[in-house]
Amino acid sequence: MSAIVHLHSAVALIGRFPALAGVDLDVDPGEILLLRGPNGAGKTTLLGVCAGLIGLSSGEAVVLGEDLTSHRRAVRRRVGLLGHDSFLYQDLSVVENLDFWSRAAAATVADGRAALDRLGVASRLFELPVHALSAGQRRRVSFAAMICRRPELWLLDEPHAGLDSAGRDLVDGLMQEAAASGATVMFASHELDRAENVAHRAVTISGGVILPASQPEPASQPEPASQPEP
Amino acid sequence: MTQTRGVFGDALLIARKDLLLERRAKIGLGQVIPFAILVLLLFAFALDPDRGVLKQATPGLFWVTVLFSSVLTLQRSFGLEAEDGILEALRLSGLSPAGIYLGKVTALTIELLLLEAVLVLGVAVLYDTEFLGIPLLLAIAVTATLGISAAGAVYGALAARLRSRETLLPLLLLPLLAPVLIAATRGCEVSLQREAMSGWPWAALLGIFALVYLTLGSFLFRPLLEDA
């Protein structure tokens, strides 16, 4: 079975800082992989590389069969990224955002509405502008905008952040459903108790490299003064 | 079920979204139009002692006001794309960069034409301007506005993610738009002096400027979006 994500000696620079300093990683189809590590370790950069947003300066990267060193853009339509930012227009309403992003991803408006229902976004919030939502509600809408794309690879950066207990359970369930239906999930989290229960496998990233399984996670990551992790 | 669109379908989607954002936030109505009217008023105060000069300078003052207002409109349009990771989301969306560019140009052109319609009323009242040669004036307004939007969208994308974009954009854009200012002003002058026939070459020049930037922008927007 060929890996959905294959990285070998992957180096990515943010400015002149090597946010990834030689990552080796393989992720199998249908796997849920937890990326753990201290702040500034390179988790967000790794997800950005897999999404085709951040280029490699050296090394190999093949994601969903696309060689990212030569065809970085080809993979973007096939992945779903949930980042620290909401990826939503603050002045548009919930449904206006979902309608726009689902159409942009060549999905239908119905896909967007179904995603909102799946995320448990109450219909009374549909017409509210995004800037009027709470952080947790915004997170659910961002998640809905991501899943309506029907991505083959889910890249989630702190997916539980800002959510209440029910929301966190929902996210865990969605990740498990996605994996069961053949999608692959990579997520970064600091909530290790919860995350390790959901993940099939966990790797620790520190200083821009994946640590060997036997090596314990460092307590904190020394960072440069202008740590540029996006 | 998925839908497929071409470049123009993508452009339509972006233009509709931008116009919807303007309808919701009302920045143009609440800030840009009042700013433009204020500039017209200040010109009127400054040149009021000599009504003849004010009347003679109407085309130039009108287009200078449009240029200043277009900078505000552009900053707003691309500032929105730089917030909340929207640029990353657009790169991931699968929308064609040329479609995004043409959509933004379309929305900007519509917004600026509406602004110009209000400013025409403003100069009619404040500067006592009599409008002659309407077909030529309309042709100049459309081609000049398209040129401003087409060039502005290129530089708006270039400046989008820079911390200093508020100050950098006018510095980059205004010198570049000097030919538009000159051609639109000259064209309007001859039109207002009932010499409409000799004004059409200015409209043609503005059309060529717009076409050049529309072509350039359609090709340049992909690298601009990647590097923004």
Give the 3-state DSSP-derived string for chain A, with helices as H, strands as E and coil as C. CCCCEEEEEEEEEECCEEEEEEEEEEECCCCEEEEECCCCCCHHHHHHHHCCCCCCCEEEEEECCEECCCCHHHHHHHEEEECCCCCCCCCCEHHHHHHHHHHHCCCCHHHHHHHHHHCCCCHHHCCCEHHHCCHHHHHHHHHHHHHCCCCCEEEEECCCCCCCHHHHHHHHHHHHHHHHCCCEEEEECCCHHHHHHHCCEEEEEECCEECCCCCCCCCCCCCCCCCCCC
The answer as to whether B1 is a domain residue is no
B17 contacts chain A (CB < 8 A)? yes
A122 contacts chain B (CB < 8 A)? no
- CA separation for the pair B127, B112 (Å, rounded): 21
- Burial classification of residue A55, based on how many CB atoms lie within 10 Å of its CB (0-12 exposed, 13-18 middle, 19 or more buried): middle
Angle B58-82/B165-176 helices, nearest 10 degrees? Answer: 140
Lowest pLDDT segment from A114-118, A172-176, B27-31, B46-50: B46-50
- CA separation for the pair A82, A146 (Å, rounded): 7
State which residue of chain B sits closest to A75, comparing Cα positions: B92
**B88 and A87 in contact by Cβ < 8 A?**
yes
Query: Are A22 and A12 contacting, i.e. CB atoms less than 8 angstroms apart?
Result: no
The answer as to whether B2 is a domain residue is no
Query: B109 to chain A, minimum CA–CA distance in Å?
Result: 21
B134, pLDDT greater than 90 = no
The mean per-residue pLDDT over the stretch B124-134 comes to: 84
Question: Which pLDDT score, from 0 to 100, does residue B139 have?
Answer: 95
Question: Which pLDDT score, from 0 to 100, does residue A199 have?
Answer: 94
Query: B163 to chain A, minimum CA–CA distance in Å?
Result: 15
Query: Are B41 and B126 contacting, i.e. CB atoms less than 8 angstroms apart?
Result: yes
Q: What rounded mean pLDDT belongs to chain B?
A: 89
Lowest pLDDT segment from A144-148, A213-217, B71-75: A213-217
Q: Which residues of chain B make contact with A52, given a CB cutoff of 8 A?
A: 92
A45, pLDDT greater than 60 = yes
- CA separation for the pair A213, A219 (Å, rounded): 16
Which residues are CB-neighbours of B8 under 8 A, at least 6 positions away? Answer: B99, B102
B89 contacts chain A (CB < 8 A)? yes
- Burial classification of residue B223, based on how many CB atoms lie within 10 Å of its CB (0-12 exposed, 13-18 middle, 19 or more buried): exposed
The mean per-residue pLDDT over the stretch A114-124 comes to: 92
Q: Which residues pair with B178 in a beta bridge?
A: none
Question: Which pLDDT score, from 0 to 100, does residue A224 have?
Answer: 45
**A87 and B85 in contact by Cβ < 8 A?**
yes
Question: Which pLDDT score, from 0 to 100, does residue B4 have?
Answer: 57
A162 contacts chain B (CB < 8 A)? no
Query: Are B137 and B193 contacting, i.e. CB atoms less than 8 angstroms apart?
Result: no
Question: Which pLDDT score, from 0 to 100, does residue B25 have?
Answer: 87
Q: What values do phi and psi take at A173, rounded to 5?
A: -65, -40
Q: How confident is the model at residue A148 (pLDDT cuts 50, 70, 90)?
A: very high
Which residues form the domain of B139? Answer: 7-227
B160, pLDDT greater than 90 = no
A39 contacts chain B (CB < 8 A)? no
DSSP letter assigned to residue B85: T
Lowest pLDDT segment from A109-113, B81-85, B154-158, B195-199: B195-199
Question: Which pLDDT score, from 0 to 100, does residue B20 have?
Answer: 96
Interface mutation vs chain B, best among A78, A84, A89, most B CBs within 10 Å: A89
Q: What values do phi and psi take at B181, rounded to 5?
A: -60, -45
Interface mutation vs chain B, best among A14, A87, A111, A130, most B CBs within 10 Å: A87
The mean per-residue pLDDT over the stretch B193-200 comes to: 70
- CA separation for the pair A106, A96 (Å, rounded): 15
Report the percentage of chain B scoring pLDDT > 70.
95
Query: A149 to chain B, minimum CA–CA distance in Å?
Result: 9
Q: How confident is the model at residue A229 (pLDDT cuts 50, 70, 90)?
A: very low
Neighbours of B76 (CB within 10 A): 20
B145, pLDDT greater than 90 = yes
Q: What rounded mean pLDDT belongs to chain A?
A: 90
B142 contacts chain A (CB < 8 A)? no
Q: How confident is the model at residue B196 (pLDDT cuts 50, 70, 90)?
A: low
- CA separation for the pair A126, A94 (Å, rounded): 5
Q: Is ipTM over 0.85?
A: yes
Q: Which residues of chain B make contact with A91, given a CB cutoff of 8 A?
A: 21, 24-25, 80
Question: Which pLDDT score, from 0 to 100, does residue B96 have?
Answer: 94
Q: How confident is the model at residue A126 (pLDDT cuts 50, 70, 90)?
A: very high
**A76 and B4 in contact by Cβ < 8 A?**
no
The answer as to whether B49 is a domain residue is yes
Report the percentage of chain A scoring pLDDT > 70.
92
Collapsing DSSP states into helix, strand and coil, what is residue B186? helix
Question: Which pLDDT score, from 0 to 100, does residue A7 have?
Answer: 95
Q: How confident is the model at residue A215 (pLDDT cuts 50, 70, 90)?
A: low
Q: How confident is the model at residue A216 (pLDDT cuts 50, 70, 90)?
A: low
Of B4, B17, B90, the CB nearest to A106: B4
Question: Which pLDDT score, from 0 to 100, does residue A226 have?
Answer: 42
Question: Which pLDDT score, from 0 to 100, does residue A218 have?
Answer: 58
**A96 and B20 in contact by Cβ < 8 A?**
yes
Question: Which pLDDT score, from 0 to 100, does residue A219 have?
Answer: 54
Query: Are B23 and B64 contacting, i.e. CB atoms less than 8 angstroms apart?
Result: no
**A85 and B4 in contact by Cβ < 8 A?**
no
CATH topology of domain A29-52+76-210: Rossmann fold (3.40.50)
The mean per-residue pLDDT over the stretch B199-218 comes to: 95
Number of domains in chain B: 1
Interface mutation vs chain A, best among B24, B84, B90, B222, most A CBs within 10 Å: B84
Question: Which pLDDT score, from 0 to 100, does residue B226 have?
Answer: 84
Of B2, B21, B88, the CB nearest to A89: B21
State which residue of chain B sits closest to A50, comparing Cα positions: B92
